[in-house]
Structure 1
Amino acid sequence: MYQNNPETFPKHFLWGGATAANQIEGAWNIDGKQLSDSGCIKGAGTGSIADTLDNATRQSLQEAIDDPSADNYPKRRGVDFYHHYQEDIKLIAKMGAKAFRISIAWSRIFPHGDEAQPNQAGLDFYRRVFQTMHEYGIEPVVTISHYEMPVGLTMKYNGWASRQAIDDFLRYAKTIIDAYHSQVKYWLTFNEINTGLTGFHETGATEEDLTTEDEKLQRRFQALHHQFVASSLATKYLHEVDPTCRMGCMLAKAITYPATPNPKDALAAQQENQLTLFFTDVQVRGEYPNYMNRYFADHNIHIKMATDDQMIIKKYPVDFISISYYHSDVTAAKEGQTGFASNCEHVHNDYLEETPWKWSIDPDGLRMSLNELWDRYQKPIFIVENGMGTTDKVGADGVVHDPYRIAYFRSHIKATKEAIKDGVSVIGYLVWAPIDMVSNSTSQMSKRYGLIYIDLHDDGSGTMKRTPKDSYYWFQRVIKSNGQELD
């Protein structure tokens, strides 16, 4: 049907910021909380990365469990949002935020993951957080699982590799939906579910007993299948409890370009993009796409499904799509490539600038991604993460002057506006991040994303003082003008 497309952001557009419990909360052993997987990943002390998200073993996890300190585990410290949440939410509110995305730490509600009853102190904490948000007119956006499986479940049955995780997750999801559905209208099931293709941090499953890449892919896709079923059942329950609430999926979106006009490179790029869209095909369309049959065959993957799994996935898709977007990729086919995305390599894009961590800066890729998702699914899209990790220097006046971050956000907000003019239904834009926090990928504080500087360093030293950066005041003007004042 012909209609005039909007020229700017909708009137009730959800501007704001996004965080994750494992990167901000701290208080890892307070008020009944036990360790999550993320709290068992070592971090940077002197700028080098001591560990990564996807090489955990049962031995390294046990060593972490036996370590009673946070010295080597930055995500146990976070930035102490647990004790600073009122101050942080007040600052975010003064910025003008309409929405604030947080995640709930599963191990704060069910400390070991398999308890029959929840931890009341954990439930009370998030109720206070949501109440504070509402006092400032901020809409909570809640991620149910943001790299936060209780490590007890990994040690008990190897995380999402076991079908038992579905039942334990649903007990947790139902508990928090029952507790907060009157306070929270926007929910997300699994953060960046497609990153489970790389392993442990999303699936909570160790792989040291496996020798080949295909064996690892088998375990990862089996774990992801269990998450698809769990997501659909959580969506079903949310709709039963409160039909006014909305459940979304969450995709790490990074569009892939072909390295050259060579059709082989174009095919490799198409297949890389399909590997990402596979996840939204399942969670939005409600079915495994046919193109993945070739991928599964090429990699000897055989997914075990219960009789009604595909019916559940089909009957209870998500209501909207949420994405993170940071960068784009370029891929080139290797000699002799014949299978599905099985023999290609990522290469540098000479046309784009990069962050200090070598992530390309590509706002046009965001516009293309939004158009691609809207054309494919025709469901509202929520940008729930967009930002750049970089180093900041506090000026002589005690303030971080960060024109580079402003330039990044300006270009991506402009790209979002162009996508809306293209006809895409975008319901919100949340920066990653309103406050500095421990980096997900490197566990560093020195890789900073926030609009608010927190005096905390890689070794855990610092005063925790919160100070708005120049980008904070710039984004304040953006929100106040509903995206019209970008300079």
Structure 2
Amino acid sequence: MTTYQFPKDFMWGAAASGIQTEGSTNKANPSIWDLWFQQSPERFYREISSDVVCDTYHKYQDDVRLMKQVGMNSFRTSIQWTRLIKDFETGEVCPDAVDFYHRYFDEMIENGIEPMINLYHFDMPAELQETYGGFESKLVVEKFVQYAVKAFELFGHKIKYWITFNEPIVPVEGGYLYDFHYPCKRDGKLAVQVGYNTILAHAQAVHAYKQLQAQNKVAADGQIGVVLNLTPSYTRNDSEEDKKAAWYADLLFNRSFLDPMVKNEFPAELCDVLKAQNILPETSPEEIDEICSAKVDFLGVNYYVPRRVKAREAEYELDYFTPEVYFENYVNPEGRFNPFRDNNEILPVAIYDIAKNVQDNYGNLPWYIAEIGIAMDEESEGKADETGYIDDSFRTDLMKEHLVQLHRAMEEGSNCFGVHQWTFIDNWSWLNSFKRRYGFYRLDLETGNRIPKKHGLWFKQLSETGQFDY
């Protein structure tokens, strides 16, 4: 048995998003998820939309109390673009949204919970998608920056941690390559343009925040960063062909956003690949300068499962570009798998590898685990016992294994400042709705009640002492 000690000021908390928790009460405009559900409800697990979900809009005070009960000292959520902005042409805000977010953030702060606020969590306004193509259009980049500035001006004196985008590659993958996000297109060149425009929107928002900070219009000690899902690529074997396949996977899935957003440069190899595939985006020298000078203060990293790849053996059959032109996905026959989440591989050492990559290749930038989640379904979690708690010790045991690897990296100098678990209360998760459960509390879909899980008891002790034994 070893005791693992973390720093006293370490940020322990959870992550969620506005669209997945708030519900649609008094929301100013529909998002693409509202539109898509209206068009194709059958694509959503059990045809459950984001209309009510956790109803945080009405229950935020109770929820902050529950956050405190599990020892959270920080919490990431998002402002909904579609809630805050009433008129996308003028940028006029919705007074009800302004009031709600002030009350919500103040409640956290008054209870010793640091709010970390994200501006975009997959929830493109339906109007901007249908009229302009969302981030296909640079006009929508302008609209996003307009929205970001409104948010900074309204809340920047009390919010000290801002995040521009959560997992910006996911809408690119889902909406333009693999058909699991709206607008359900399959177009490699368009995917690259959307990715580039997202990076540009991020850069311009960073510059806008820094300018407001220089003008004393936001907190002097405020910081701005981005959250990326960094999935290490592991090979089938040590062959040069497999190593090259993993290099391509890392370049296209990780470095494509990590390098321009954190290192402020586009990898030459990435540009060569896009040129060879005839899918280079439309850019300008001024835009490149903006991207290459937008310095973030911190990085958030989301991690759930590793990526396994091998050299391509079968002929690539799609008639449009995806990263799989350069490799095939691979399932490790000797791997360890989660029986409660679609048999996804469990590989805690990936946390160590991510930490060392940031340390060695990205200037040891301050970073934190912005999401790490252990999924179980409602049946595998079971019902509450006589103490009123659901027994999810499977989740606790796995979290310990991952934190051991994080601690090892920190002992070697990795500049990690916190861990946020996905998620606080079981929340709505896109096409999966409530198929997978991750929360410290179970959400009863019929009553809206929050039912505690035993993992929260362990987490409270961890956050209060900064240590655990394993």
TM over 0.5: yes
- The residue aligned with 1:429 is 419
Judged with a 3 Å threshold, the aligned counterparts in structure 2 of structure 1 residues 298 and 486 are, in CA distance, closer, same or farther, namely farther
- Report the alpha carbon displacement of residue 294 of structure 1 after superposing the two structures with TM: 2.4
- 1:220 aligned to 2:188? no
Q: Helix, strand or coil: the match of 1:89?
A: helix
- 1:352 aligned to 2:336? yes
- The residue aligned with 1:414 is 404
**Distance (Å, rounded) in 1 between the aligned partners of 2:137 and 2:51:** 26
Corresponding residue to 1:168 among 121, 143, 147: 143
- Report the alpha carbon displacement of residue 38 of structure 1 after superposing the two structures with TM: 2.4
Count of residues in correspondence between the two structures: 445
**Distance (Å, rounded) in 2 between the aligned partners of 1:307 and 1:297:** 17
Q: What letter corresponds to residue 33 of structure 2 in structure 1?
A: S
- Report the alpha carbon displacement of residue 297 of structure 1 after superposing the two structures with TM: 2.3
Judged with a 3 Å threshold, the aligned counterparts in structure 2 of structure 1 residues 419 and 113 are, in CA distance, closer, same or farther, namely farther
Q: What letter corresponds to residue 288 of structure 1 in structure 2?
A: F
- Report the alpha carbon displacement of residue 184 of structure 1 after superposing the two structures with TM: 0.7
**Distance (Å, rounded) in 1 between the aligned partners of 2:456 and 2:441:** 7
- Report the alpha carbon displacement of residue 399 of structure 1 after superposing the two structures with TM: 2.6
**Distance (Å, rounded) in 1 between the aligned partners of 2:167 and 2:94:** 27
- The residue aligned with 2:43 is 51
- The residue aligned with 2:357 is 372
- The residue aligned with 1:263 is 240
**Distance (Å, rounded) in 2 between the aligned partners of 1:414 and 1:147:** 31
Deviates more, 1:400-409 or 1:432-441: 432-441
Corresponding residue to 1:148 among 112, 118, 123: 123
- The residue aligned with 1:472 is 456
- Report the alpha carbon displacement of residue 370 of structure 1 after superposing the two structures with TM: 1.2
**Distance (Å, rounded) in 1 between the aligned partners of 2:170 and 2:277:** 18
Q: Helix, strand or coil: the match of 1:342?
A: helix
Judged with a 3 Å threshold, the aligned counterparts in structure 2 of structure 1 residues 286 and 266 are, in CA distance, closer, same or farther, namely same
Judged with a 3 Å threshold, the aligned counterparts in structure 2 of structure 1 residues 447 and 41 are, in CA distance, closer, same or farther, namely farther
- 1:249 aligned to 2:226? yes
- Report the alpha carbon displacement of residue 133 of structure 1 after superposing the two structures with TM: 0.4
Output one character per residue of 1:55-108: Cα deviation in whole Å (capped at 9) or x when no partner.
xxxxxxxxxxxxxxxx94422222111111111111101222111001111000
Judged with a 3 Å threshold, the aligned counterparts in structure 2 of structure 1 residues 204 and 153 are, in CA distance, closer, same or farther, namely farther
8 Å contact from structure 1 (residues 154, 204) kept in 2: no
Corresponding residue to 1:384 among 370, 374, 382: 370
- 1:330 aligned to 2:305? no
**Distance (Å, rounded) in 1 between the aligned partners of 2:35 and 2:468:** 43
8 Å contact from structure 1 (residues 387, 408) kept in 2: no
Corresponding residue to 2:30 among 31, 35, 44: 35
Corresponding residue to 2:440 among 451, 470, 480: 451
Judged with a 3 Å threshold, the aligned counterparts in structure 2 of structure 1 residues 248 and 428 are, in CA distance, closer, same or farther, namely same
**Distance (Å, rounded) in 1 between the aligned partners of 2:35 and 2:401:** 36
- Report the alpha carbon displacement of residue 274 of structure 1 after superposing the two structures with TM: 1.7
**Distance (Å, rounded) in 2 between the aligned partners of 1:201 and 1:98:** 37
Q: State the TM-score, normalizing by the size of structure 1.
A: 0.86
- The residue aligned with 1:24 is 21
- The residue aligned with 1:104 is 79
Judged with a 3 Å threshold, the aligned counterparts in structure 2 of structure 1 residues 204 and 337 are, in CA distance, closer, same or farther, namely closer
8 Å contact from structure 2 (residues 176, 183) kept in 1: no
- Report the alpha carbon displacement of residue 357 of structure 1 after superposing the two structures with TM: 2.0
Q: What letter corresponds to residue 269 of structure 1 in structure 2?
A: A
- The residue aligned with 1:284 is 262
- 1:303 aligned to 2:286? no
**Distance (Å, rounded) in 1 between the aligned partners of 2:239 and 2:291:** 37
- 1:313 aligned to 2:298? no
- Report the alpha carbon displacement of residue 35 of structure 1 after superposing the two structures with TM: 1.1
Deviates more, 1:433-442 or 1:473-482: 433-442
- The residue aligned with 1:343 is 326
**Distance (Å, rounded) in 2 between the aligned partners of 1:84 and 1:90:** 10
- 1:79 aligned to 2:54? yes
- The residue aligned with 1:11 is 8
8 Å contact from structure 1 (residues 158, 204) kept in 2: no
Q: What letter corresponds to residue 30 of structure 2 in structure 1?
A: L
Q: What letter corresponds to residue 441 of structure 2 in structure 1?
A: I
8 Å contact from structure 2 (residues 176, 188) kept in 1: no
Deviates more, 1:30-39 or 1:447-456: 30-39
Output one character per residue of 1:202-239: Cα deviation in whole Å (capped at 9) or x when no partner.
9987355xxxx6xx121111112111111111111212
- Report the alpha carbon displacement of residue 470 of structure 1 after superposing the two structures with TM: 0.4
- 1:189 aligned to 2:172? no
Deviates more, 1:289-298 or 1:337-346: 337-346
- Report the alpha carbon displacement of residue 266 of structure 1 after superposing the two structures with TM: 1.2
Output one character per residue of 1:142-181: Cα deviation in whole Å (capped at 9) or x when no partner.
1100011111101111100011111110111000100111
8 Å contact from structure 1 (residues 323, 382) kept in 2: yes
Output one character per residue of 1:289-337: Cα deviation in whole Å (capped at 9) or x when no partner.
1010222023211211134001111111212111111010110112388
Judged with a 3 Å threshold, the aligned counterparts in structure 2 of structure 1 residues 194 and 404 are, in CA distance, closer, same or farther, namely same
Q: What letter corresponds to residue 479 of structure 1 in structure 2?
A: S
Q: What letter corresponds to residue 150 of structure 1 in structure 2?
A: P
**Distance (Å, rounded) in 2 between the aligned partners of 1:25 and 1:32:** 9
Judged with a 3 Å threshold, the aligned counterparts in structure 2 of structure 1 residues 390 and 114 are, in CA distance, closer, same or farther, namely farther
Corresponding residue to 1:463 among 438, 442, 447: 447
What is the correspondence of 1:394-409 to structure 2 with a 5 Å cutoff?
Answer: 394-397=383-386, 398-409=388-399
Q: What letter corresponds to residue 375 of structure 2 in structure 1?
A: G
Output one character per residue of 1:190-213: Cα deviation in whole Å (capped at 9) or x when no partner.
1101224414299987355xxxx6
**Distance (Å, rounded) in 2 between the aligned partners of 1:416 and 1:105:** 32
8 Å contact from structure 2 (residues 86, 92) kept in 1: no
Q: What do you get for the CA RMSD once the two structures are aligned? A: 2.5
**Distance (Å, rounded) in 1 between the aligned partners of 2:408 and 2:285:** 44
Output one character per residue of 1:234-256: Cα deviation in whole Å (capped at 9) or x when no partner.
11121222242111111111111
Judged with a 3 Å threshold, the aligned counterparts in structure 2 of structure 1 residues 195 and 108 are, in CA distance, closer, same or farther, namely same
Judged with a 3 Å threshold, the aligned counterparts in structure 2 of structure 1 residues 389 and 50 are, in CA distance, closer, same or farther, namely farther
Judged with a 3 Å threshold, the aligned counterparts in structure 2 of structure 1 residues 407 and 217 are, in CA distance, closer, same or farther, namely same
Structure 1 gap ranges (5+): 1-6, 54-70, 457-461
Q: State the TM-score, normalizing by the size of structure 2.
A: 0.89
Q: Helix, strand or coil: the match of 1:141?
A: strand
Q: What letter corresponds to residue 400 of structure 1 in structure 2?
A: I
Structure 2 gap ranges (5+): 214-219
8 Å contact from structure 1 (residues 41, 52) kept in 2: no
8 Å contact from structure 1 (residues 435, 454) kept in 2: yes
